[in-house]
């Protein structure tokens, strides 16, 4: 990067599920690590204090050794909130101590709430220090940039959207197979219980449509709710899916639903748009910007089960409307979230941050 120095990137283990790792794997797949001599440090792999320490402590020692050896041109940390940010703030503090520039890349839709709960306290001060001293804070949309700049006026905030890979080819799917698809962790914050309730409300009108929930998390609890609502026979719990299995599910989906209460810029909606699948999602995080405030998908307020049910119904019964959203979504993702332009933008950021 600069002479023999390297870029150190830090984040969750790359084999872990989730949108953040999907982004980093995309960077690696499209050559960023090779072109810029990126060293990746895993800071988290599994829950549990001992498990976390076994991963994080070696990462700290590795970074410290590289800093002592003057091997680091730039540190780039990918962070969510809570424990994720705590770990990354420690790495950033080491970088500051050695006068090494660092980038804080925020992926979590809860981050500003996380900060506001700590504002005026020591933990809030540490968040401010970490962001204010960063060479750059990267966020996922223009709306986020404005909000972050208002809350952290001393921070240098810029936008880097998430990239989505182009769809190489669509799988053939039976015309009799109709389903609504959810991709992500099955938990309350993702709105999956709202989705099951909304599906139950429209089930009698669309007896040929099922609900496919592809993700890890609270499978037993979600399955129990489906049984209580009398739709267990039409709800399929697949567990977490990746790569070809995920693409097959996207290829056959009528709709992708993401009724989250908090989001950054979810990879699942970008993947659906790239696959030509219409999206219904909650109005949170960077989702409204990605869907052009409803032009490229259906938006509703998080927690509004009636609006979610109505939106699903409109997409399932109106093929022309669904087709229009598919076309507009595909156009949108190709114009604003294609891999190469996003990576070129990050490479420009690296050059500017490392030489200042």
Taking the C-alpha atoms of residue 241 and residue 355, their distance in angstroms, rounded to an integer, is 40
Q: Provide the sign of the torsion angle of the four alpha carbons 45, 48, 51, 54, taken in this order.
A: positive
- pLDDT < 70 stretches in the chain: 1-3, 168-176, 355-356
74: phi then psi, degrees, rounded to nearest 5: -160, 140
pLDDT score, position 18 = 86
pLDDT at 7: 97
Question: Structural domains in the chain?
Answer: 6-163+338-355 (3.40.50.2000), 178-336 (3.40.50.2000)
Q: How buried is residue 134: exposed, middle or buried, by Cβ count under 10 Å (0-12/13-18/19+)?
A: buried
pLDDT of residue 176: 61
User: φ, ψ for residue 308 (rounded to 5)?
Assistant: -65, -45
Query: What is the sign, positive or negative, of the torsion defined by CA atoms of 201, 202, 207, 211?
Result: negative
3-state DSSP assignment of residue 160: coil
Q: Which two tokens stand for residue 283?
A: 């109005």
Name the region of 114 (left: φ>0; alpha: ψ -120 to 50; beta: rest): alpha
Position 169 scores a pLDDT of 54
Query: Which pLDDT score, from 0 to 100, does residue 31 have?
Result: 95
DSSP tag of 165: P
Bridge partners, 44 (sequence order): 12
Token pair in block for residue 212: 């496919």
DSSP calls for 221-240: HHHHHHHHTT-GGGEEE---
- Residue 47 is predicted with a pLDDT of 87
């Amino acid at each position: 990067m600069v002479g023999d120095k390297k870029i150190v990137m830090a984040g969750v283990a790359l084999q872990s599920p989730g949108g953040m790792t999907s982004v980093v794997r995309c960077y690696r797949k499209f050559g960023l690590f090779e072109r810029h001599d990126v060293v990746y440090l895993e800071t988290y792999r599994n829950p549990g204090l001992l498990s976390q320490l076994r991963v994080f402590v070696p990462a700290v020692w590795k970074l410290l050794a590289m800093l002592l050896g003057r091997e680091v041109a730039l540190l780039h940390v990918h962070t969510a909130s809570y424990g994720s940010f705590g770990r990354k703030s420690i790495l950033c503090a080491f970088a500051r101590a050695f006068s090494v520039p660092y980038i804080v890349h925020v992926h979590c839709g809860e981050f500003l709430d996380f900060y506001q709960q700590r504002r005026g306290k020591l933990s809030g001060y540490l968040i401010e220090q970490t962001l204010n001293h960063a060479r750059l804070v990267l966020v996922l949309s223009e709306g986020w940039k404005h909000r972050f700049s208002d809350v952290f006026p001393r921070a240098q905030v810029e936008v880097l959207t998430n990239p989505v890979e182009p769809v190489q080819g669509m799988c053939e799917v039976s015309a009799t197979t109709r389903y609504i698809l959810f991709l992500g962790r099955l938990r309350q914050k993702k709105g999956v219980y709202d989705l099951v309730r909304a599906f139950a409300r429209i089930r009698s009108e669309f007896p040929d449509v099922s609900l496919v929930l592809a993700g890890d998390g609270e499978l037993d609890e979600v399955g129990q709710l489906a049984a209580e609502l009398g739709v267990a026979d039409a709800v399929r719990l697949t567990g977490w899916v990746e790569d070809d299995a995920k693409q097959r599910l996207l290829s056959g989906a009528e709709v992708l639903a993401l009724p989250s209460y908090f989001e950054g810029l979810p990879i699942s909606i970008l993947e659906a748009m790239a696959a030509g699948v219409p999206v219904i999602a909650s109005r949170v995080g960077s989702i409204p910007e990605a869907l052009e405030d409803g032009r490229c998908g259906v938006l509703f307020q998080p927690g509004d089960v009636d609006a979610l049910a109505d939106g699903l119904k409109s997409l399932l019964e109106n093929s022309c409307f669904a087709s229009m959203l598919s076309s507009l979504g595909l156009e949108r993702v190709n114009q604003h979230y294609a891999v190469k332009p996003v990576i070129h933008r990050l490479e420009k950021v690296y050059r500017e941050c490392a030489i200042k």
